[in-house]
């Protein structure tokens, strides 16, 4: 049996944001001056019908997640 504080997702919005770095970032052979961040707004609802919105963000970095021999730009 669930609790009254349990929440379920009822909506989401996803945004892709280009970000210029303040200083160059070096990862292995790559040096980056910009990245794309994914930002999401998630709307949830509890068992009583109350809703809330929260935000989250993470950089989408192909160097960390998908290592490969191709440079950053063609994989971006």
For the chain, the domains span 14-40
Contacts of 56 (CB under 8 A, 6+ apart): 39, 40, 42
Q: Per-residue pLDDT tens for 7-17?
A: 999 999 999 99
**Model pTM?**
0.71
pLDDT in tens, 34-68: 888 999 999 999 988 999 999 999 988 766 666 67
């Amino acid at each position: 049996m669930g609790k009254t504080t349990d929440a379920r997702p009822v909506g989401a919005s996803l945004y892709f944001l280009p970000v210029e770095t303040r200083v160059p970032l070096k990862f292995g052979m790559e040096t980056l001056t910009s990245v794309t961040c994914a930002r999401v707004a998630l709307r949830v609802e509890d068992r009583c019908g109350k809703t809330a919105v929260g935000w989250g963000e993470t950089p989408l970095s192909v160097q960390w997640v998908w290592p490969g021999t191709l440079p950053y730009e063609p994989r971006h």
